[in-house]
Structure 1
Amino acid sequence: MPRIQTQAPRRTLLLAGGALLLAGGRGSLAQPATKSPVGIIGSGRLGGTVGTLWAKAGHPVLFSSRNPERLKELVEAAGPNARAGTPAEAVAFGRALLVAVPYGALPQLGQDLGASLAGKVVLDACNAVPARDGDVARLAAERGIGATSAGFLPGSRLVRAFNTLGARVLAEQAHRAGDPVAIPLAGDDAGALEAAAALVRDAGFEPVVVGSLARAPDFAMGARGYGKVVPAAELRGILGLPS
């Protein structure tokens, strides 16, 4: 089971040369990049909230939509590190990606983005809701949501993250005083888990690595680790992890 030390010094992926521009894009970042760029696929409440936290923390962030012009207010609120583009541009832009779309959209997303996802660290924040996502949600329940997401996004270095708390809670609890709120993670790639943990910390939370993707159902919607606004030590206890 991949593990990291959550109390170790933060490690941030850096771009060679410091600055980053996306050729042919809809503008450039207002300041040099000092932290890894992140693409957001699904720039609704959850994706918009987490992406804004990263932009405020210094990450270049590209919020994406099939209609990027509709993201103007979000980009302005997120500040000078943010910009808008299409999902394909988000994949090209991001060293890591956050996917926050309805779970039923994942199969088509994987088909649309195809080989461009290969090798990308993908934080999957999507929840399978049977009433909304139908057969895709039932498949996730049968196979396990981690393995199912990985199958829909082949080639990606997938980590389940940011699916347990709503956008409002995340916005209110980020960088809170005292012990930070824990965010559970699951993944099969140790390097991707480390990168995801660094992004969780930069957003103002504490990562708790639950285990491989096979453990992702432990904090899926309705499971014991879902919806818990608690520090890392308490979440470890809830999930039966070593303290």
Structure 2
Amino acid sequence: MTTFPLRRRPFLAAMAGLAAINVASGLSEVEAAPSITIGIIGVGDVGSTLAELWVKAGYQVILSARDEADAQKEAQILGSLASAGTPVEVANKASIIVLAVPYKAIPELGQALNRTLMDKIVIDPSNPYPWRDGEIAQEALKLGAGVVTQRYFPSAHVVRAFNSIDMSTLREEAHRSAPLLAIPVAGDDAHAVHQVEQLVTVAGFEPVLVGGLDKARLFQPGSDGFEVKESAAGLKQALHL
């Protein structure tokens, strides 16, 4: 049997947890193995919620925030599978990066990290709000947030996910009894989309592929698919899929 590097966890408990993930997700042990490190930039409600869900699934996460002390504090709360670093360290060390920041921070992060994130997967759960984010939000709402985010990270594979439902609902509904809560996913790179779908699954939800990044506008603020708290069937109906 293959073993996995779950730090400081008893072997039997770790394997039992992985078995539960495999049964729930329908993935093979190899596919479901938490062999990647997830980097999360931002430790507000979005970043901390997603980090907790993935740590519970056995994944290592590395956190970053504008105030590094905030990231270190959150990492201590999450336990031995979590650590903290600068945004550059997150971009270097993580296999998949989550931009859990206000949308107005996207251009700055793109300028600082794009080259470091070459060919890496970038999950964008941030929503554009003109009252908070200004002109960049207007552009994202007009053209689609996924398309605009990709422009600032042209060397990475951007996937939109976890932006359409509030974090309090995600915390409450993760791993609920069937039918699972559905999470819409959109991206242009098939491999990146598949990886994100797996992360949606192990977090306790059912991924629903909506299409390419241009389709991510179907579940951004102001759309019919935003804040839809349904099963896969209900979400597909709301999105006219």
Q: Could you say which residue in structure 1 is the equivalent of 2:31? A: 12
TM-score (normalizing by structure 2): 0.85
Moved more, 59-68 or 71-80: 71-80
1:100 aligns with 2:100: yes
Q: Deviations over 1:38-83 (max 9, x none)?
A: 0001111111100111011111100112332223332122222111
How do 1:119-138 and structure 2 match up within 5 A? 119-138=119-138
Is the partner of 2:31 in helix, strand or coil? coil
1:229 aligns with 2:233: no
How do 1:149-164 and structure 2 match up within 5 A? 149-164=149-164
How far 1:36 moved relative to its partner?
A: 1.4
Moved more, 134-143 or 73-82: 73-82
How many pairs does the alignment contain? 216
Q: Which runs of 5+ in 2 are unaligned?
A: 1-24
CA contact (8 A) 2:114 2:152 kept: no
Q: Could you say which residue in structure 2 is the equivalent of 1:84? A: 84
Q: Could you say which residue in structure 2 is the equivalent of 1:145? A: 145
Tell me the amino acid that sits aligned with residue 27 of structure 2.
P
TM-score (normalizing by structure 1): 0.84
CA contact (8 A) 1:120 1:157 kept: yes
Identity of aligned residues (%): 39
Q: Could you say which residue in structure 1 is the equivalent of 2:194? A: 194
CA contact (8 A) 2:114 2:156 kept: no
How far 1:178 moved relative to its partner?
A: 2.1
How do 1:15-54 and structure 2 match up within 5 A? 34-54=34-54
Q: Deviations over 1:78-103 (max 9, x none)?
A: 22211111111111121111111111
Write the distance in 2 (CA, Å) between the matches of 1:69 and 1:104. Answer: 22
Q: CA RMSD in A?
A: 1.6
Write the distance in 1 (CA, Å) between the matches of 2:160 and 2:209. Answer: 10
CA contact (8 A) 1:107 1:152 kept: yes
Q: Which runs of 5+ in 1 are unaligned?
A: 1-6, 15-33
How far 1:13 moved relative to its partner?
A: 7.3
Q: Could you say which residue in structure 2 is the equivalent of 1:31? A: none
Is the partner of 2:84 in helix, strand or coil? strand
